[in-house]
Amino acid sequence: MRVPFSWVKEYVDWRGSVEELAELLTMSGTEVEGIDWVGAPADPDNLSRFVVGKVLTRDKHPNADKLSLCTVEVGEAHGGVHQIVCGADNFQAGDTVAVSLTGATLESGLKLKKANLRGVESHGMMMSEQELGYEEKSPGIVILPDEWIVGAPLQDYLPVSEAVLELELTSNRPDCFSIYGIAREVAAAARLELAPPPTAGPAVLGGAPAAESLAVEVADPDLCPRYAAQVIRGVRVGDSPAWLKARLTHAGMRPISNVVDVTNYVMLGWGQPLHAFDAGKIRGAKLVARRAHVGERIVTLDGMERTLDDHMVVIADVERPLVIAGVFGSIDAEVDAHTTDLVLEAANFSGPNILRTELHTGIRSEASNRFEKGLDANLVPGGLDFASRLLADLCGGVVAPGTVDVWSEAPSLPRLSYRPAKADDLLGYAVPAQEQAGILRRLECEVDEGGAPSAPSHAAPSTAEWTITPPTFRPDLVREVDLIEEVGRIAGYDLAPETLPRHRTAGGLTGPQQVRRAIRRALAGCGLDEAITYTFVAPDALDPLGLPEGDVRLSPVKLSNPMSVEQSVMRTMLLPGLIGAVRANVDRLNDPPNLFEIGSVYLWDDQTSPAPAQAAEPGAVLPHEPEAVGIVLAGPLEVESWTGAGRPTDFSTLKGIVEAALRALRLTADFVPLGDAVAHFPYLHPGKAALVSVPGAGGVGAVGLLRPDVAAAYGVDDLKLYFAALALDRIAPVALKTATFEDLGAYPPAAQDLAVIVDRGIAAADVIAVARRAGGKLTRDVHVFDVYEGGQVPADKRSLALRVVMRSPERTLSERDIAGVRAKILTALERELAAALR
Partner 1 sequence: MEDAELQILKQRAPGLAALYTTARDTILRAADVVALEQARVSTLGRKSALTELLRSIPTLPAEDRPLLGKGGNMVRRELEGLVEEREAELRRQALSASLAHERLDVTLPGQPFPAGHEHLISQTMREVEDIFIGLGYRIAEGPEVELDYYNFTALNTPPSHPARSAHDTFWVVEQRETMPEAVMDADRGVLLRTHTSPVQVRVMEQQRPPVYVVCLGKVYRRDSDATHTPMFHQVEGLVVDEGITLADLKGTLHHFTQEFFGGERAIRMRPHFFPFTEPSIEVDVSCELCGGKGCRSCKHSGWLEIMGAGMVDPAVYDFVDYDSEKVSGFAFGMGVERMAMLKHGIPDLRLFYDNDVRFLRQF
322-381 residues in contact with partner 1 (CB under 8 A) are 351-352, 355-356, 359, 372
Beta bridge mates, 291: 313
559 binds partner 1 (CB under 8 A): yes
Site for partner 1 in 110-129 (CB under 8 A): none
279 binds partner 1 (CB under 8 A): no
560 binds partner 1 (CB under 8 A): yes
552 binds partner 1 (CB under 8 A): no
In the bound complex, what is the minimum distance in angstroms from residue 8's beta carbon to partner 1? 19
694 binds partner 1 (CB under 8 A): no
In the bound complex, what is the minimum distance in angstroms from residue 540's beta carbon to partner 1? 17
89 binds partner 1 (CB under 8 A): no
Q: How far apart are CA 629 and CA 165, in angstroms?
A: 51
Q: How far apart are CA 418 and CA 765, in angstroms?
A: 77
Q: How far apart are CA 659 and CA 820, in angstroms?
A: 33
Q: Which of 570, 665, 700, 829 binds partner 1 (CB under 8 A)?
A: 570
In the bound complex, what is the minimum distance in angstroms from residue 530's beta carbon to partner 1? 4
In the bound complex, what is the minimum distance in angstroms from residue 604's beta carbon to partner 1? 5
Burial of 145 (0-12, 13-18, 19+ CB in 10 A): exposed
**Residue with Cβ nearer partner 1 (445 or 528):** 528
Who's near 668: CB < 8 A, 6+ residues apart? 659, 662, 694, 695
Count of all residues that appear for the chain in the document:
838
Q: Which of 56, 77, 285, 584 binds partner 1 (CB under 8 A)?
A: 584
Span interacting with partner 1, options 87-95, 593-601, 697-705, 772-780, rule CB under 8 A: 593-601
Span interacting with partner 1, options 38-46, 69-77, 85-93, 610-618, rule CB under 8 A: 610-618
In the bound complex, what is the minimum distance in angstroms from residue 627's beta carbon to partner 1? 10
Q: How far apart are CA 692 and CA 699, in angstroms?
A: 6
Work out whether strand 466-469 and strand 536-537 pair parallel, antiparallel, or are unpaired.
unpaired
Span interacting with partner 1, options 37-45, 301-309, 525-533, 724-732, rule CB under 8 A: 525-533
Q: Which of 452, 506, 739, 795 binds partner 1 (CB under 8 A)?
A: 506
Among 602, 594, 659, smallest CA distance to 628 is for 602
594 binds partner 1 (CB under 8 A): yes
In the bound complex, what is the minimum distance in angstroms from residue 623's beta carbon to partner 1? 5
Amino acid identity, position 40: A
In the bound complex, what is the minimum distance in angstroms from residue 688's beta carbon to partner 1? 22
165 binds partner 1 (CB under 8 A): no
Site for partner 1 in 639-658 (CB under 8 A): 639, 641-643
DSSP state of 338: T
Beta bridge mates, 85: 69
**Residue with Cβ nearer partner 1 (292 or 598):** 598
DSSP labels, 711-748: HHHTT-TTS--EEEEEEHHHHGGGTTPPP------SS-
Helix spans in 142-206 (H): 179-190
520 binds partner 1 (CB under 8 A): yes
In the bound complex, what is the minimum distance in angstroms from residue 588's beta carbon to partner 1? 6
**Residue with Cβ nearer partner 1 (639 or 819):** 639
Are the C-beta atoms of residues 59 and 72 closer than 8 Å to each other? Answer: no
479 binds partner 1 (CB under 8 A): yes
DSSP labels, 234-282: S----PPPHHHHHHHHHHT-----HHHHHHHHHHHHHS--EEEEEGGGS
**Residue with Cβ nearer partner 1 (37 or 429):** 429
**Residue with Cβ nearer partner 1 (429 or 788):** 429
Cα dihedral: 253, 255, 257, 263 (round 10):
30
**Residue with Cβ nearer partner 1 (503 or 816):** 503
185 binds partner 1 (CB under 8 A): no
663 binds partner 1 (CB under 8 A): no
**Residue with Cβ nearer partner 1 (27 or 215):** 27
Q: How far apart are CA 370 and CA 356, in angstroms?
A: 14
623 binds partner 1 (CB under 8 A): yes
Q: How far apart are CA 520 and CA 598, in angstroms?
A: 8
State residue 212 phi and psi, 5-degree precision.
-80, -20
Site for partner 1 in 411-470 (CB under 8 A): 425-429
717 binds partner 1 (CB under 8 A): no
532 binds partner 1 (CB under 8 A): yes
In the bound complex, what is the minimum distance in angstroms from residue 594's beta carbon to partner 1? 8
**What b/e string do you get for 658-683 counting C-beta neighbours within 10 Å, with b at 16 or more?**
bbebbebbebebebeebeeebeebeb
In the bound complex, what is the minimum distance in angstroms from residue 598's beta carbon to partner 1? 8
Site for partner 1 in 23-62 (CB under 8 A): 26-29, 31, 34
From residue 22, alpha-carbon distances to 26, 31, 166, 432, 561 in Å are 6, 8, 9, 26, 39
Q: Which of 137, 503, 811, 816 binds partner 1 (CB under 8 A)?
A: 503
